[in-house]
């Protein structure tokens, strides 16, 4: 569906806003399906507006070409109105960040269930030749169901077709939110789809501990932290000399810092391998997570929110006069994935 009718049918209640624009919750009047409409913001200059629309259209094109999957946000349609692009998706809950705050995710069963679905969605994306290039908790949506959390990967504005043979490609390094940025991207080197695997490893650590692994505000600080916590990786010669000599040994992330079992902890280290050629691929992680999930004992009842009902349990049809809590997406200018303008993106 690409006509202007998409927007007119799905005006609704605002449930989020940020640098991209706004997200509104509504129901399709024809089917009753819950929907989320993502509308682009009006930029300050014509050049910036052109870039905003280009990224939004790129996201829509990715959704249209990607076959449906249970762990990928369900695309309904898109349209343009003047300098605005509207993307309509099936409502899929709150961000993973918000879900963890609401439900206090610490159970190994929930961690395994959530991460298994992230890996499944990522493996599906990669198997069809796309790299996400901005995987992070705020781009993963979760909706609590009677059987547990249902996870979907969303936000494909930086997604790009890449070869599936894992031969590094020279693409723009202006991708990935800084906290989840892979070493080879920080080094401005050619990269493969496994930059998403690195981001997944960071997310697994965050799921387990409740805090980001590399919460730094500059590339230099990120490089130093990765050298300290995971190990060295090749850097261009123009980088300061101490990066090439001072960090000769690696100090692995300590197992005691996380509640992860040995198998999941080992997987995290494989996802966080600074060498992209030996880093765990998404299909390997997905298979391993299925096996691990089957090996766990029966889970306890699904977690209940620690605060009043939030968007993750939003009713399909809000009653008249219902107030739906909104969430402000605050993005630090230094850690946000910057819009890219280089030719080879």
Compute the average pLDDT of residues 316-325: 40
Compute the average pLDDT of residues 90-114: 89
Compute the average pLDDT of residues 21-32: 85
Nearest to residue 231, comparing CAs of 188, 275, 200, 266? 275
Domain boundary assignment for the chain? 5-92+313-328, 94-295
pLDDT tens, 218-255? Answer: 998 898 889 888 888 887 766 665 555 455 455 567 66
Give the whole-angstrom CA distance, residue 139 versus residue 291.
26
Percent of the chain with pLDDT over 90: 43
Compute the average pLDDT of residues 123-134: 96
H helix intervals, 94-218: 96-103, 108-127, 183-186, 195-209
- Mean pLDDT of all residues belonging to the chain: 80
For residue 129, pLDDT over 90 is answered with yes
Residue with tokens 């309904």: 76
Fold classification of 5-92+313-328 is Phosphorylase Kinase; domain 1 (3.30.200)
For residue 115, pLDDT over 70 is answered with yes
Residue 253 is predicted with a pLDDT of: 72
Residue 296 is predicted with a pLDDT of: 87
Between residues 113 and 1, the one the model is more confident about: 113
The two beta strands, 94-95 and 13-18, are unpaired
Catalytic residue numbers, as ranges: 134
The CATH number of domain 94-295 is 1.10.510.10: yes
Q: What's this model's pTM, rounded to 2 decimal places?
A: 0.82
Residue 238 is predicted with a pLDDT of: 67
Q: Running DSSP on this structure, what letter comes out for residue 169? A: B
């Amino acid at each position: 569906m690409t006509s202007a009718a998409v927007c007119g049918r799905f005006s609704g209640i605002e449930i989020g806003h940020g640098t991209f624009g706004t997200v509104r919750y509504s129901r399709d009047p024809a089917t009753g399906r819950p929907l989320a409409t993502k509308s682009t913001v009006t930029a300050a200059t014509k050049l910036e507006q052109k870039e905003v629309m280009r990224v939004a259209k790129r996201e829509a094109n990715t959704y249209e070409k990607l076959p449906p999957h249970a762990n990928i946000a369900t695309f309904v349609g898109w349209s343009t109105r003047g300098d605005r692009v509207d993307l309509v998706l099936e409502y899929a809950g709150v961000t993973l960040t918000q879900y963890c705050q609401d439900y206090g995710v610490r159970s190994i069963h929930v961690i395994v269930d959530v991460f298994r679905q992230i890996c499944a969605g990522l493996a599906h994306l990669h198997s069809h030749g796309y790299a996400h290039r901005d995987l992070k908790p705020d781009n993963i949506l979760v909706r609590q169901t009677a059987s547990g959390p249902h996870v979907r990967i969303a936000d494909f504005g930086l997604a790009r077709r890449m070869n599936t043979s894992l031969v590094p490609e020279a693409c723009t390094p202006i991708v990935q939110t800084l906290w989840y940025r892979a070493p080879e991207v920080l080094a401005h080197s050619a990269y493969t789809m496994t930059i998403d695997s690195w981001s997944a490893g960071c997310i697994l650590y965050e799921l387990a501990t409740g805090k980001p692994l590399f919460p730094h505000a500059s590339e230099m600080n990120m490089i130093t932290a990765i050298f300290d916590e995971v190990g060295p990786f090749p850097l261009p010669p123009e980088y300061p000399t101490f990066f090439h000599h001072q960090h000769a040994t690696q100090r692995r992330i300590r197992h005691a810092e996380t509640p992860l079992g040995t198998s999941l902890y080992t997987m995290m280290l494989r996802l966080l391998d600074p060498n992209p050629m030996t880093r765990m691929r998404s299909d390997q992680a997905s298979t391993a997570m299925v096996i691990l999930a089957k090996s766990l004992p029966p889970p306890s009842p699904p977690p209940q929110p620690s605060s009043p009902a939030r968007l993750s349990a939003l009713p399909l049809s809000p009653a008249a006069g219902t107030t739906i809590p909104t969430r402000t997406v605050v993005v630090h200018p230094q850690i946000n994935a910057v819009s890219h303008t280089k030719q080879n993106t």
